[in-house]
Every structure is written in structure tokens, then in C-alpha cells.
Chain A
Amino acid sequence: MANLRDASDKALKLLRTLPRVQIGNLRPNPNSKKPDKRGRAQHGGDKHGAGNKGSGQRQNFMRLGYETGNQPFYLRFPYEPYYKGHHMRRQYPPLSLLQLQVLIDTNRIDISQPVDITTLCNSGLLTLKPAEMEYGFQLTDEGLDNFKAKINIEVQHASEAVIAAVERNGGVIRTAYYDPRSLHILKNPKKWFEKGIPIPQRMLPPQDAIEYYTDAKNRGYLANPEEISKERLVLAQKYGYELPKIEEDASYEMLTAAKDARQLFLGLEPGWLINLVDKTIIKAKTT
């Protein structure tokens, strides 16, 4: 009995919170309405656009590609795998040197600090969609002659001419790999910090990308630094410019600042938790 009373109490409590019975939330009694008959003169009339006989009249829509007994077109020819796995391939949306120079000239990015994906996305003019297999930006050579900025930039892909254009001005360029989850965090770090989840570790590149990112010619982030400094000199001789000495530069600290291969943000280590409200950093205690 106690259970029953509990149930009725609950039902009454529930009823109190529900809205009143009124014309706005009533519906007709079940089975009181009959579906309209579509007469010959109604709604387009006659056969209502469905044709006269057979499967058309019954609106029997065939499955896509079916040709009523013919060998379907999509099965008629042998398979030719030109684009095999194209939906799995990594994409690098282009960012030209001209665009980058415009961003610098209009004060949209601060080149007194190292430039990475976050800097570019925070300008509000560039976006990245990691969910659509976009793995970062590639720096392209449009506007190469007019590029005059001295920057420390990290992109995901760059051609030889672009590397030369950046290094001619005394800048530093590095190509680095980020896994999709890291890219998702990098494109909007503020949103990630607000979630209250610690900064994760960056993954190492997949097997088919390791060759690119360990090559000093591509200024890969996994390449030997000594080989990179040698390749800088080789490229300067190939393109015929004098390599500016960044060791004697006033902004040497900024130009040589680089993330660790497992690091997502410069200066912030994986495992830290950022509290934007209290402006605190929560770290694991080291004993």
C-alpha cells in the first residue's frame, strides 16, 4: 500500500509541475481523424503527378544506380584505384606568403613572438578543420618577392623557395606535425582551457610522415639541429643570398624558441591545467 501511495504522491507532484490543460496543449482523440482522400480534382488532380501504370504509379522509387535489370553503370567497368584512400589523406590548406605579409602589415599577428597555428587562427581570418582531415597550414610561395618580415614561424608544410624566402630575411621556419586532437586544441586554446581538462601530450607523426619531419631540408622538427644549420647555409648558397646571422640578432631568444616534440603550447607543459578565471596553473606536485 505504501508503494501505491508513494506512486500516487509522485504522480500528483508531477501533475503540479506540469502545465494546465488548455486549448493550446490538447490534441484530437485517437482515431477521430481520417486521412484526407486525394480526389481527382484536388492537389494537382488526376494521378497527382505519379503517372499512369506500374512502378511509377506506386511510387516505387528504385535504389540509387539500379537500372531495372541492366548491368548498372557503376558496376559495368572494372575498378581503377586512382583515388584510393583519398578520404584518408592528410590535407594542408594553403597560406601564401602574401597573405602572411598582409596579416603582419595590418597588425593581425604579432611577429615579436613565435608564430604557430594558434597565432594564425587567433587572427580570426584563418580557420582549420581537423575533423575534415586538415592537418595544418602549408606556406605557399605566392608573394615571395614581397615578403620582408623577420619571423619565427611553425607550419606543417613548406616548399624550398618558401623556406629560402623566410630565411633570407633572417627568420626561422620549422615544419611540425600535430595529431588531429592537438590541432583541435590549438585552433582554439581558450575553449580547451575553459573545459578544465589538462593539456594533453602531442602525438608523434604517423609512419608515412616521419621521413618528411626528420629531414633537415624540410626544416622538420625532428631533424638534427646541426644538419638544419648546415642546410640553411646550403640553401643560402643555392638561392644566392647572404644568410643573416641569427646568433648576433637582438631577438635571438625569440627566433630560436621552439616547442618540444611532445609539447602543444610554447612554455606550457603537458599535464598542466590552466584556470582562466582564477588565473592559476595547476601542476602535479614533484616529490
Chain B
Amino acid sequence: MPNLCTRRALLHTQPACLSSFRSSKELQPLEQYPDIEVLHNPPEWKYVERLLPPTLVPAPVAKPAYPSGWQPATADGTAEGYLVARTKNHMVPVYLQTRFRGERRITVVRRIQGNIWALEQELREVVQRARNGKICATRVNELSGQIHIHGDYVDILREHLKSKGF
């Protein structure tokens, strides 16, 4: 049985430009290298651990104050009948969509669960108050749990949702 792995390596003629292994220098006689010592559990390992990135987004920690204006979600939606879940980065999912070179601006509220129509009524009132009683256009996507509101009301809606604990 011929060793297919080595055979494939022989057939492989393309130079491996991007491989650090293939482009590395050949091994020289060991005397040419400096003497080394391998340290197991060195005291400096804590500095290495500090440099490794976390594998998951860290959960927020309860603090007495949040000066940046961000705050953790407190409501679970039982009182309101709906829930606007936080994103994986623990932010309120309110976004601005721009189309036609910024001519059309649409505020999108995502990650809505529960009674989406009740939330739509509420957000509509908030937006109408912000535009001095003028009626605003909304669109509800029940399946994907999104509400689209015509115009840029991102800051107003985000602050409103935060004040309700979402």
C-alpha cells in the first residue's frame, strides 16, 4: 500500500508562499543555536494569560453606576406582555437603516418577542409625541419580530426602551 500522503506531497509542486513552515529556514547544526531553558509553570505565565482573548462575550457585572449611559436589562416582559431582548453584545437592538443615499431613514427595532402589536402602539405614541402629534408610519413584521418606523428616531426609542428596563 503506497503512502498516499507522502505521494501527494511529492506531486505538490506549487511553492507554498504563505506557509511559514515551508518558507522557514532549514535546521542548522544545534551548536549554532543559543542554550535555552524551558520553564514549566513560570511566574510570568499570568502575563501571557492576560493577552489571550476571551472566547465568549463576557456577561455584564452589576455596578453601582454606569456613567456611559448604558444599563443592564432589568425587565423580563411579563408586565408588558412583550420583550425586546438585548443583543449578544448586551445592547438595545434599535438601528437606523438608510436607503437612497440617506434620503429614506428607517428606524428598526429588532428582537421583539410576545405581543408585538402592543409595542407598536406604544412606540408609535412615543414617536408621535416627538414629532408634535404628527402621525408616523410603521410596519410590523410579526414573523421576524421587527418594527420599522419611518424616520430617524433611534435615540428616542432606545432611551424609551431603556427607561422601560429592556
Residue of A nearest to B90 (CB): A106
B52 touches A (CB below 8 Å): yes
Q: How far is the CB of A19 from chain B (nearest CB, A)?
A: 12
CB pair B53 A265 closer than 8 Å: no
CB pair B67 A266 closer than 8 Å: no
CB pair B2 A13 closer than 8 Å: yes
Chain B 52-73 per-residue mask, 1 if CB under 8 angstroms from chain A, else 0: 1110011111010111111000
Q: Which residues of A contact B65 (CB under 8 A)?
A: 148
CB pair A146 B68 closer than 8 Å: yes
Q: Which residues of B contact A124 (CB under 8 A)?
A: 53-54, 57
Chain B 1-20 per-residue mask, 1 if CB under 8 angstroms from chain A, else 0: 01010011001000000001
Bound complex: CA of A13 vs CA of B2, how far in Å?
9
Bound complex: CA of A160 vs CA of B163, how far in Å?
35
Given A98-B68, A195-B20, check contact A107 B58 (CB 8 Å): yes
B102 touches A (CB below 8 Å): no
CB pair A280 B39 closer than 8 Å: yes
CB pair B53 A101 closer than 8 Å: no
Q: Which residues of B contact A50 (CB under 8 A)?
A: none
Q: How far is the CB of B136 from chain A (nearest CB, A)?
A: 29
Query: Which of B42-59 touch A at CB < 8 Å?
Result: 42, 44-48, 50-54, 57-59
Residue of B nearest to A98 (CB): B68
Residue of B nearest to A148 (CB): B67
CB pair A189 B51 closer than 8 Å: yes
A91 touches B (CB below 8 Å): no
B26 touches A (CB below 8 Å): no
Residue of A nearest to B52 (CB): A190
Bound complex: CA of A284 vs CA of B40, how far in Å?
14
Bound complex: CA of A118 vs CA of B2, how far in Å?
48
Bound complex: CA of A16 vs CA of B41, how far in Å?
51
Given A17-B11, A274-B48, check contact A107 B60 (CB 8 Å): yes
Point out the residue from A108, A146, A265, A281 that lies within 8 Å of B67, measured CB to CB.
A146
Residue of B nearest to A14 (CB): B11
Residue of A nearest to B47 (CB): A267
Q: Which residues of A contact B42 (CB under 8 A)?
A: 280-281
Residue of A nearest to B41 (CB): A279
Pick the interface stretch among B29-37, B75-83, B107-115, B121-129.
Answer: B29-37
CB pair B58 A147 closer than 8 Å: no
B89 touches A (CB below 8 Å): yes
Q: How far is the CB of A143 from chain B (nearest CB, A)?
A: 7
Bound complex: CA of A118 vs CA of B35, how far in Å?
31
Bound complex: CA of A141 vs CA of B40, how far in Å?
45
Bound complex: CA of A143 vs CA of B67, how far in Å?
10
Bound complex: CA of A122 vs CA of B51, how far in Å?
8
Selected A-B contacts with CB under 8 Å, 17 pairs? A13-B2, A17-B8, A98-B68, A101-B68, A105-B67, A108-B58, A146-B67, A146-B68, A266-B50, A267-B46, A267-B47, A276-B48, A276-B52, A280-B39, A280-B40, A285-B36, A287-B35
10 interchain residue pairs of minimum CB distance? A267-B47, A101-B68, A285-B35, A122-B53, A148-B67, A189-B51, A102-B68, A105-B66, A105-B68, A281-B42
6 further A-B pairs in the complex, CB-CB below 8 A; given A148-B65, A266-B50: A124-B57, A149-B67, A189-B51, A278-B40, A281-B44, A284-B36
